[in-house]
Amino acid sequence: MSGLRYWYADNRGSAFAFALFALMFAIYLINYPSALSANVFQTAANKAVLLALVSMGQALVVLTAGIDLSIGMLLVLTNCLGSWIVRGDALHSALGIAGVLAAGALCGALNGVIIIFGRLQPIVTTIATGAVYYGLALLLRPVPGGSINEDLADALTGNVAGVVPASLLILLAAVVIVWMPFKRSTVGRTAYATGSSEAAAFLSGMPIRRAKFASYTLAGLLAAIGGLFLTFFTDTGEASLGSANSYTLFSIAAVVIGGVSLLGGRGSAIGAVFGAFAFRSIGDLLFVFNVDALWQPLFQGAILLLAVSIGACGLFRVRNRLEWFQ
Amino acid sequence: MRQDAGQPFFQMSGVSKSYGGAVALEHAQLAVRTGRIHAVLGENGAGKSTLLKVMSGVVQPDEGTMQLDGREVSFASPAAANAAGIVCVFQELSLIPDLSVADNIFASNPPRRFGMIDRPTQRRQAEAALARAGASDIDPLAKVRDLPLSRQQMVELAKGLAREPRILILDEATSALTAADVARVIDVLRRLREEGLALIFISHRMHEVKALADECTVYRNGRHVMSFEAGTRTDNEVVEMMIGREYRHVFPDKPAPKPDGQLADKPVLSCRNLAWNDTLRGVGFALRRGEILGLGGLDGQGQRELLLALFGVLRGCAGEIEIDGKSVSVGSPVAARADKIGMALIPEDRKTEGLMLPMSVRENLSFAALDRMSTGGVIDRVRQRSFVERMMALLAIKSSSVDAAVGSLSGGNQQKVVIAKWLVRQPRILLLCDPTRGIDVGTKQEIYQLLRRLADEGAAIVFYSTDYDELIGCCDRVLVLYEGKVRKELAGPAINEPNLIASALDLPVGQISPSTGVAS
């Protein structure tokens, strides 16, 4: 019983994000039952998975009390790279995918190295490296263009066995292969510890550098998976500053909705995934209710504020005001 | 194993370390033998902490050598020292608040299966480690953040033991513990000594040192003063070695209790039926000008919450508070410090609640009274300087400059800054939450004298302390709290150790014999 209580205390944020998503999705379905038809659902899932992958990456970094403002740029960079090298026959495409993933991980690792060894603040470092990554993306694709292996794109953006969107399965795989081992490993626990109290982690002899390096590198890798998917969906590479910026900011929003503390040390990437789903559902809901596209950003912002406020309701229960500041 | 006459197990010689221009250690030496408890004594700023940090790999010395088991060693990090069997239980807790107790105990080296952390095994091993530290009441799954400070310190000890040390260093590791915990820890340490560990023990509580130490080493101003067998020097000699000056009476004289007639003046502060959550269950008392009222009892009986409630920190607090006989509602610290009420709170944790560590001494001294130092919202530097200089002089705060970061001062001087920043406002009611925790004897003495002086000048003081000696030495009256209620009020000669212990344990006063401190 007490084990359950501790589990709930740990996962309250994720549970809230899940509930929020389930609620919005239910409203969506009630008003638009035909959404379950394969195509609509599939498109919605694909869009949500894209943000979920980036948000997972962001969550890994935020847990260490850092932040990755280059993650959207990295998504765009890997999108542009993918539109050049994931082409041709199966072997070439496979090598291309490996190349894109390696490039993403490398860029993430570079963020980590600068932050760890340069002792620069994550926010400044990633603004700078983000600009560099976007610059590279522009050099790769000064104008939108390129293409991707179409068989692969069809397979990965379609449905498996006619029902489950393949993209959801890839996301599930990312959770199982990247997040779960991370959380259960010494490195992952050190990431939590670093975000919670870096000095205490240091005094405990924990591998702080390795944990930060792993967090930033995995964030880069997840952004690269997202970049590949973006290429699969759009069949083109585009160095779009707008989408780079919005993915960066949306990933932070998703992480917060998902109950990951921006101060570090608390939350989980699963919360961030549901946070991303919930955030994407806002757009879908507005579509269902025929809201003019001009109003969308305004409503999105308002609903985001509302969601974050509900998440902060717990503060009203705090009766010792010193706990507000912990 | 008890008497290892040969080579010391660990030896350090000629070790120096300076930070910037400040010399923290100068040609320090220390020799530690197995199966012995070695107490290192000295004021804060004497270099003890630096000495231990060098030993445990937290800082690298500028010069000098260390030998472990006959071989020369150097430690680049705490992990390297741990690997060699040197484990330090730190004064500043090294626990990670958002992780569970079990996760913390095995922070650096958890039990693993297939490369992943094996949580069931970790939990069992954590239970064993807690039991070994004498703290089996702690749930290994609880978050450290949710535990009171005294429990956290027991977790810290369990964490140290779980690393299977050959040399265990305890740096003020009992400073936040309750009397019952201290007794258990003393038992644990004696058992470890029998098991052949070398123990290094730092404490400002002399009776713990006397109960435990086989050998003592005194440091002063970063230099080794003397090492000697325990029991071969008197208390006064030891304290003189530590402070390097004649040892005077620790506590200032108390005023003679006033005859009943004079007590008729109205209390400055009185409260009735204060209740909050389950922690306070109807506390009431009255406090007069010039009085030092102690709060005693076991740790966590509502003493902290009582001070927070008076200072307007707690929400939904029931009961009445009267200032000068008029009922007031203290809604926030802003209201509490306003002239009408004139309260000041010296919080429990100076590093997080009392100070902005990276900011200068000058800024920190100004924070509680910026309104007094500014005109139309603009800080008047001339007035600020005069306030700051007055406080630096009044409390004899030692700092290289008023512009130095307050985090660079010694613990005792930091605490003086916390107190001084409130004295700028000349508060009528001063609330203190364990203000002498982990600070040196000399500064403690200065604080006792300061409190008595403030009381003589008319301040009313509420003083919570976990150290019975302080309650006995400083207070005119003591309220002993038990489960959120005032269990007993002691005054005058009735404030003595047996009475304090008895009422803290909710036993009738007078049943504990003064000589042994054990219930008969």
Q: What is the DSSP string of B370-427?
A: GGGGEETTEE-HHHHHHHHHHHHHHTT---S-TTSBGGGS-HHHHHHHHHHHHHTT--
| Residue A1: predicted pLDDT | 45
Residue ranges per domain, chain A?
A: 14-25+40-310
Mean of the per-residue pLDDT values for chain B? 86
CA of A197 to nearest chain B CA: how many angstroms apart?
Answer: 6
| Residue B351: predicted pLDDT | 85
Partners of residue A208 in chain B, C-beta under 8 Å? none
Decide if B192 is inside a domain.
yes
Decide if B455 is inside a domain.
yes
Last residue of a domain, one of B389, B409, B426: B426
| Residue B408: predicted pLDDT | 86
Interface of B with A (CB under 8 A): 58, 77-79, 82, 90, 92-100, 103-104, 107-108, 110, 112, 115-117, 119, 139, 141-143, 145, 159, 276-277, 305, 308, 313-316, 332, 353
Decide if B51 is inside a domain.
yes
Last residue of a domain, one of B366, B396, B426: B426
| Residue A177: predicted pLDDT | 93
| Residue B519: predicted pLDDT | 39
- What CATH class does A14-25+40-310 carry? mainly alpha
| Residue A2: predicted pLDDT | 62
B407 with B314, same domain: the answer is no
In tens, the pLDDT along B34-56 reads 999 999 987 756 788 888 889 98
B33 with B84, same domain: the answer is yes
In tens, the pLDDT along B400-443 reads 888 888 988 888 899 999 999 999 999 999 999 999 887 877 88
pLDDT > 90? residue A212: yes
In tens, the pLDDT along B356-406 reads 888 899 999 998 888 888 888 888 899 999 999 999 999 999 888 888 889
Last residue of a domain, one of B407, B426, B445: B426
Decide if B38 is inside a domain.
yes
User: At a CB cut-off of 8 Å and minimum separation 6, what does A52 contact?
Assistant: A171, A254, A272, A273, A276, A277
Q: Which domain holds residue B463?
A: 264-342+427-520
pLDDT > 90? residue A5: no
Structurally, chain B folds into a number of domains equal to 3
CA dihedral over A99, A105, A110, A111, signed as positive or negative: positive
Partners of residue B90 in chain A, C-beta under 8 Å? 203
Q: What is the mean pLDDT of residues B233-237?
A: 78
Partners of residue A322 in chain B, C-beta under 8 Å? 308, 313, 353
Alpha carbon B67 to chain centroid, angstroms: 32
Q: Which CATH number do you get for residue B270?
A: 3.40.50.300
Q: Is A191's Cβ below 8 Å from some Cβ in B? A: no
Decide if B180 is inside a domain.
yes
B147 with B217, same domain: the answer is yes
Q: Where are the alpha helices (DSSP H) in B15-94?
A: 48-55, 78-83
B118 with B209, same domain: the answer is yes
Q: How confident is the model at residue B266 (pLDDT cuts 50, 70, 90)?
A: confident
Task: Supply the ipTM of this predicted assembly.
Answer: 0.73
What is the arrangement of strands in the sheet containing B326-328, beginning at the earlier edge strand?
B280-287, B269-276, B318-323, B326-328
B434 with B403, same domain: the answer is no
| Residue A101: predicted pLDDT | 97
B296 with B434, same domain: the answer is yes
Please report, as a single letter, which amino acid is at residue B330: V
CA dihedral over B195, B198, B204, B210, signed as positive or negative: positive
Decide if B113 is inside a domain.
yes
First to last CA, chain A: 27
Q: How confident is the model at residue A306 (pLDDT cuts 50, 70, 90)?
A: confident
Please report, as a single letter, which amino acid is at residue A217: T
Q: What is the mean pLDDT of residues A10-27?
A: 89
In tens, the pLDDT along A219-253 reads 999 999 999 999 998 989 999 999 999 999 999 99
| Residue B222: predicted pLDDT | 85
Q: Are A272 and A260 in contact (CB under 8 A)?
A: yes
B366 closest CA partner among B342, B339, B392: B392
Eight-class DSSP state of B145: G
B interface test, pick of A320, A324, A326 with most B CB neighbours within 10 Å = A320
Decide if B329 is inside a domain.
yes
Q: How confident is the model at residue B18 (pLDDT cuts 50, 70, 90)?
A: confident
B161 with B203, same domain: the answer is yes
Find the residue in B nearest to A319 (Cα).
Answer: B315
